[in-house]
Structure 1
Amino acid sequence: MRTPVVMTLGMVFAPCGLLFNLTSTLAPGWRLVKGFLDQPVDVELYQGLWDMCREQSSSERECGQQDKSGYFEAQPVLVARALMVTSLAVTVLGLLLASLGVRCWQDVPNFVLAGLSGVVLFVAGLLSLIPVSWYNHFLRDRDVLPLPASQVTVQVSYSLVLGYLGSCLLLLGGFSLALSFAPWCEERCRRSRKAPSAGPRRSSVSTIRVEWPEPELTPAIKYYSDGQHRPPPAQHRKPKPKVGFPMPRPPPKAYTNSVDVLAGEGWEAAQSQDSTSCSSHPYDSTLPCDSDL
């Protein structure tokens, strides 16, 4: 199985946060004091949780300076020592749990163990963020964090910045790993839904079955089988309705001619006509006359 993105981000952010917090805890650079009136201008004093270093001209550095102002007995310094060491120990424990839960030579990660490691790393980030923020709040307060008697300039040094970065990375890495609980919670919810109930449940809504009449299919679909169209049976045939109205038919009409072709063809007319002509009509000229018979 491919490692989820949230686990990968957590495994990247958490070791970086551990490295920054370790450097911040051991390095003498929480506060930078300079501008001493009785010393050269380029003299700077770096104060940390465990040691003080005096630096001049950025080349000569002497650590193990004597604390004359009671800086190491200040409450923010003592609390920062305890909480930073505790944060480092909790971070190591969280990384150990994360290494066992994320992969540990298994195909499927252990989501519960990975999520638990995220919670542990998130707590480690809080344990380191609290002393860093508290120390920064009283950075220029002479009553809480003592300073030399002369007027000096106080600034934030690199160890305090590294403490902020390490704490934020631990918070992000822990939150990212804590998101590994999501697949585990989803699986638990799915199992609880699939679990059978104690007794049969009676439905509060009654089911009514309604049978609707099937629509009559067209003949092209209803009587089509084996690739051939078949005519519907006689009982399913319906007479086609007649559309329109009957047209009146004209009465039968005989052929009429305004000229009476039989006029003058009687016996009396034949006696009175000239023997050379048989009829006065032009289309009777082809008939043989009586004289020729």
Structure 2
Amino acid sequence: MPDPCVLALGLVSGCAGWLFNMIATGAPSWRTVQGVPGAAEGTVIHQGIWDMCVEVPGSDLVCPHQEPDYFAEGVVKAARGLMVTSVVVTGGALVSAFLGVRCWRPSPDLLLAGLSGVAVFCGGIFSIIPVAWFTSELKSIKASGTDLRVGYCVVMGFIASAFQFIGGACLMTCWYDFSKKRKRAAQARAHPRDPPRSETCAPDRTCRVTAAVALGDIEPRSSSSRLRESVCTEQRD
């Protein structure tokens, strides 16, 4: 059976990665744009993959703010699909992981928990690809300002991917125990052990019990035990 602490770490890390991934997907702060020509000093544009907001000093945050050229970028479109895929895959994998670990039962479902770990790990891959791609293309994506900086959603995306990798790896350790269990079962089938000896004879044999102690041929081993000799002969047709 795998270590319960490892399974707990896998579930907690997977849930944390999924939560951070959802925030990174929906929040409009993948990139911040400052130094916008014609805007008030200190104006900041927060750009996400679904929405965009403008923060003006002394006023409330204005959403949405439309910039068609930004949303037409290929990296933004790819980030939408990959991040949503990561959220869906990781969420489904966590449900399967909880059913596989089965904290309410003595032993977990090793195969289901291991497959859930693979899905959580794949969810981390789906999220780190758009985050890393967006970061590499940060300066080349069209912007209305000159000062471009990474938003907090990119940072949370990297953290979410790291948690998903850790959680997936911890859950995949169930496969090690699953393989050992299968190997032991295969060895047991290939080399069956002799059945344990019983005090009674098999059904196809007849027993004749002689009291050797009573005859005085053998001394008793202890006062509390009696020595009996069972002689079994096979029945012949």
TM range (shorter): 0.7 to 0.9
Which of the two has higher C-alpha Rg?
A: 1
Q: Is 1:61 aligned to 2:57, yes or no?
A: no
1:59 to partner: Cα distance: 5.2
The 8 Å contact of residues 3 and 102 in structure 1, kept in 2 or not, is answered as no
Counterpart for residue 228 of structure 2: none
Cα distance in 2 for partners of 1:196, 1:71 equals 64
1:67 CA displacement: 1.2
| 1:154-204 residue CA offsets vs partner (Å, 9 max, x unmatched) | 00011111111111111110111001111111111222233336xxxxxxx
Aligned length: 191
SS at match of 2:132: helix
**Separation (CA, whole Å) in 2 of partners of 1:114 and 1:7:** 9
Q: Superposition RMSD on alpha carbons, in Å?
A: 1.7
Inter-partner Cα distance in structure 2 for 1:3 and 1:192: 24
Matched, 1:49 2:49: yes
Structure whose residues are more often helix by fraction: 2
**Aligned AA for 1:172?**
I
Give the residue type in structure 2 aligned to 1:30. W
Task: Say which of 147, 151, 157 aligns to 2:143.
Answer: 147
- Which residue number in structure 1 is paired with residue 19 of structure 2? 19
Q: Which residue of 2 aligns with 1:169?
A: 163
Other-structure match for 2:98: 99
- The answer to whether residue 83 in structure 2 is matched with residue 84 in structure 1 is yes
Which residue in the other structure is 1:192 paired with? 186
1:75-114: CA deviation from partner (whole Å, max 9, x where unpaired): 0000000010011110111011101000153221111111
Look up the match of 2:224: none
Matched, 1:114 2:113: yes
Residue 16 of structure 2: SS of its match in structure 1?
helix
Supply the AA of the counterpart residue of 2:35: G
Per mean C-alpha deviation after superposition, the further-off stretch among 113-122 and 54-63 is 54-63
Distance between the aligned counterparts of 2:171 and 2:59, measured in 1? 44
* Equivalence map 1:1-293=2 (5 Å): 4-57=4-57, 60-68=60-68, 70-103=69-102, 105-141=104-140, 145-148=141-144, 152-196=146-190
Please give the alpha-carbon distance, in whole angstroms, between the structure 2 residues aligned to 1:53 and 1:118. Answer: 37
- Residue 117 of structure 2 aligns with an amino acid whose one-letter code is G
In percent, how many aligned pairs have the same letter?
38
Q: Relative contact order (alpha carbons < 8 A, sep ≥ 6): 1 or 2 greater? A: 2
Q: Which runs of 5+ in 1 are unaligned?
A: 198-293
Q: Per-residue deviation at 1:40? A: 1.6
CA distance in 2, matches of 1:6, 1:27: 31
Distance 1:85 1:196 in 2: 48
Alignment correspondent of 2:234: none
Deviations along 1:211-246, one digit per CA (max 9) or x if unpaired, are: xxxxxxxxxxxxxxxxxxxxxxxxxxxxxxxxxxxx
1:32–1:47 CA contact under 8 A, matched in 2? yes
- Extract unaligned runs of 5+ from structure 2: 192-237
CA–CA separation in structure 2 for the residues paired with 1:34 and 1:146: 13
Aligned residues of 1:6 and 1:180 also touching (Cα < 8 A): no
- Residue aligned with 1:100, SS: helix
Over 3 Å counting, the alpha-carbon distance change for 1:2 and 1:182 in structure 2 is: closer
